[in-house]
Structure 1
Amino acid sequence: MNNHEIDYHLHGDDMQFVEIELDPMETVIAEAGSLMMMEDHIRMETIFGDGSKNSNLSGFVGKLIGAGKRVITGESLFMTAFTNEGTGKKHVSFASPYPGKIVPLDLSELGGKIICQKDSFLAAAKGVSIGVEFQRKLGAGFFGGEGFIMQKIEGDGMAFVHAGGTIHQKELEVGETLRVDTGCLVAMTGQVDYNIEFVGGIKTALFGGEGVFFATLRGPGTVWIQSLPFSRLASRVFAALPEKGGSKGEGSVASGLFDIFGGDRN
């Protein structure tokens, strides 16, 4: 393997974290701020880019290009590398930034390439390359809910992505098509054909409540779908804030009537 071979264990159900076991001198890379805990003799180092061999081929220029790709996807210029410098096995754990699931992806069994939402990457074995995947059809990019820029994870090691709610993994046969809300798409294998299509019908567009575009995925390949995108959760929380017109009560019928008629509870 070109990437470090790491072992892992997932803990929890709806608020998961992943515990990664590192042999001496093994390294895992992760998004800045995702660390939960780590044992002694693990060295933490901030790196420029993703630390893969591809980003080091041309020295500083290669690292700069790798970091630039991360900026395009909305991520930080830097990542954090955790290396076991002890003599025995050590453990480091990473947590999801919001309620949901962590999806382990063995790239060696998935064709060496995964395309995922631009903010879903959590951690990976050292040597895994994190880049960008441009949607071939620009119309899909400009009008699709997730934009035409997605993350591309390549290599032959383990990678971990996170998503909201429940995760559904679906295998698509050759030519099989699946239509998905753009925000619910988490990841897909590299051979899946991906496009954004317009939802026909002006009534659907204006009153359907589901948006006017959806992702069309065509097999063969594997796709991962989330039941609660963070954007959907955040919009509901934002809409419920009192200063944005949300209810100030506890959700009872009585409190709703007070809100409607402007009653004073004091």
Structure 2
Amino acid sequence: MNNHEIDYKLYGDDMQFVEVELDPQETVIAEAGSLMMMDDAIRMETIFGDGAESSGGLMGKLLGAGKRVLTGESMFMTAFTNEGTGKKHVSFASPYPGKIIPLDLSTIDGKLICQKDAFLAAAKGVSIGIEFQRKVGTGFFGGEGFIMQKLEGDGMAFVHAGGTIHKKELAAGEVLRLDTGCLVAMTGGIDYNIEMVGGIKTAMFGGEGLFLATLRGPGTVWVQSLPFSRLASRVFSAMPRNGGSKGEGSAASGLFDILGGDRR
């Protein structure tokens, strides 16, 4: 094992947090701002780069930090080390309603590809890098762009996603089509591509967008029922306009919305 071996426990249902149990001198790394609580014997330290054990000196750390910037994350991560004499605990919370997915990377060939903001925490030694989409169409229209997160190692990692999470095993050659924003993570053997929705009428008026993600096995895929982008767009559309208030359950409110009326 190159990674620290950590134990954990999940709490909650739709607003989950994960409690990580650390033996003396064990370390867990996490995204900045994800800490919920920790015992007093745990030392918190900001680290530069992706948190891997073998960083390759200053240049390796710079490359690791650069990879994180490309995925839209901070150059820094936070390491939590148990400096006490017994077992200690540190907890991390997901940033929006959904589920936390615990993954033992040693059981999936040491590699996981996930959406850019999915990573929450991992055992010290797990490398958080980037995965370039080599296909131009996938990069432009795949929802996640050319760059996704790549987790590598043989330890525990925790990713989070919105709504309910569905894990699906794909056999060799089996194809799964899904909304581009609903993809959470996939194992390294999955072939990821995008395709246009069939038919002009369906594409223009179907409300599902112009493209679908196409995943071809063999491998494992994790799918989320409520992408954060979809949740954010619904919240934004429900916000009051021009300083007014948007009533709920009112036929008159709906009529004014349709006609663009001013209820002041």
Q: Deviations over 1:41-98 (max 9, x none)?
A: 10000000122134x12x1110000000000000001000000000000000000000
Kept in 2, the 8 Å contact 1:239–1:245? The answer is no
Kept in 2, the 8 Å contact 1:240–1:247? The answer is no
Kept in 2, the 8 Å contact 1:117–1:146? The answer is yes
Match of 1:112 in 2: 110
Matched residue SS, 1:4:
coil
Match of 2:77 in 1: 79
Letter in 2 for 1:103: I
Letter in 2 for 1:198: M
Q: Which of 227, 230, 255 is the aligned partner of 2:228?
A: 230
User: TM-score normalized by structure 1?
Assistant: 0.94
Kept in 1, the 8 Å contact 2:114–2:150? The answer is yes
Kept in 2, the 8 Å contact 1:121–1:162? The answer is yes
Match of 1:133 in 2: 131
Percent same amino acid among aligned pairs? 82
Rate the CA distance shift 1:244–1:121 in 2: closer, same or farther, 3 A. Answer: farther
Counting only pairs closer than 5 Å after superposition, residues 171-186 of structure 1 correspond to structure 2 as 171-186=169-184
Rate the CA distance shift 1:34–1:209 in 2: closer, same or farther, 3 A. Answer: same
Counting only pairs closer than 5 Å after superposition, residues 1-266 of structure 1 correspond to structure 2 as 1-54=1-54, 56-57=55-56, 59-243=57-241, 248-257=246-255, 262-263=262-263
Calculate the aligned-residue CA RMSD, in Å.
1.6
Rate the CA distance shift 1:255–1:143 in 2: closer, same or farther, 3 A. Answer: closer
Rate the CA distance shift 1:141–1:263 in 2: closer, same or farther, 3 A. Answer: closer
Rate the CA distance shift 1:70–1:246 in 2: closer, same or farther, 3 A. Answer: farther
5+ residue gaps, structure 1 = none
Letter in 2 for 1:170: K
Matched residue SS, 1:178:
strand
Moved over 3 A (4+): 244-247, 254-264
Deviation, structure 1 residue 262: 4.3
Kept in 2, the 8 Å contact 1:133–1:152? The answer is yes
Letter in 1 for 2:136: L
Rate the CA distance shift 1:208–1:247 in 2: closer, same or farther, 3 A. Answer: farther
Q: Deviations over 1:123-182 (max 9, x none)?
A: 000000000001120221012211121000000000000000000000001110000111
**Alpha-carbon separation, structure 2, partners of 1:7 and 1:23:** 9
